[in-house]
Amino acid sequence: MAVEEKVLIKKFINNPETITQELLEGYTMAYADKVALGGENIVVRANPKSEDKVAIVSMGGSGHEPAISGFVGEGMLDCSVVGDIFAAPGAPRVFEALKKFDRGAGILLVVLNHAGDVMSANMAMQLAERAGIKVKMLMTSEDISAGLDVPDEDRRGLAGCIPLYKIAGAAAEEGKSLDEIYEIAERFNKQMATLAVAMKSCTHPQNGATIAELPDGEMEIGMGQHGEGGGGRSALLTADETAERMIGQLMKKLSPAKGDKVVLYINGVGATTMMELFLVYRKAHQILVDAGCEVVEGKVDEFLTVQEMAGFQMILGKVDDDHATYLKHVSDAPYWTVLK
């Protein structure tokens, strides 16, 4: 690669063509007690759980670290199937992972609603069916930016998949059946909503291309995972104003009543500081409490990032006793730890 390209992209990379392979090697080296490579671009638990328990598998492009492989570990995912930068893994690789976890108890395949991921997952599901593998697919599609009444199939899947991994993974560790885990996870899936905002888009780390343009002084509520437009462009607001606008839309979607248990997560997407994220969380939490909601869990962190994109995703979920319990179960994934 030419020196000029390195300067243009301005990232610490070696070869654009081997980024995914190298980052997964580094990741599994750094957390060798928890994760390992189980094939080309397939990350598995270093300490597999009992084979009589349902396996939880998910998939997605790289460039979003720590997602999705950061949540492979005890109490969460058994396997992450990784695609190239911002690209879905191909169906053959997803099928390879399904074959690896064909152990009788069944597999829950969690897929975020993005066209490439869904196409690969559907093809892999067809191959699995022909091979007699017991697998159910659950698709997350909680992004409300397209409108509060838009059908699920027209919504994008954002970082709401992460707490869903936690709930499904805990139910699997407990020994629930595939049908039971699907029902528990899908119930949470229907009770959560996410809204994203960005003030600066990301660039593609392999070619330096900017995904979207946002002028200085402007922000856009409703942007997708890579900076895809959401239609809510405005002048830059304060942290409180942004939080008010976003939590208001999420509450309108979920209609939490006084006394409802809710979870609130703020997912930083790469270039916004923790200081800013805590300011946003503060206001959103205050609004939920003022409405009489019980915030049973909150987190502010980077779960699903997009290179140097500046902004965050706000995730609100109504939880029942099942979900509140499973969120507290032990987990030991590199980026989501719950102690005994």
Residues marked active site are found at 64, 226
Q: Are 230 and 221 in contact (CB under 8 A)?
A: yes
Partners of residue 203 on adjacent β-strands: 210
For the chain, list the strands marked E by DSSP: 35-39, 42-45, 55-62, 79-85, 107-112, 135-140, 192-200, 218-221, 232-235, 261-268, 294-301, 310-318, 331-333, 336-338
Edge-to-edge order in the sheet of strand 294-301:
232-235, 218-221, 192-200, 310-318, 261-268, 294-301
Query: What gap in Å lies between CA 218 and CA 237, rounded to an integer?
Result: 8
Query: What gap in Å lies between CA 45 and CA 35, rounded to an integer?
Result: 5
**DSSP letters for 39-99:** ETTEEEESSPPPTTS-EEEEEEEESSTTTTGGGBSTTSBSEEEEEEETSPPPHHHHHHHHH
Q: Are 61 and 86 in contact (CB under 8 A)?
A: yes
Tell me 228's DSSP state. -
Query: What gap in Å lies between CA 17 and CA 1, rounded to an integer?
Result: 10
In this structure, the chain runs to a length of 340
Sign of CA dihedral 294, 299, 305, 311: positive
Tokens of 218: 């402007």
211 CB contacts (<8 Å, ≥6 apart)?
201, 202, 203, 204, 226, 227, 228
Q: Are 61 and 90 in contact (CB under 8 A)?
A: no
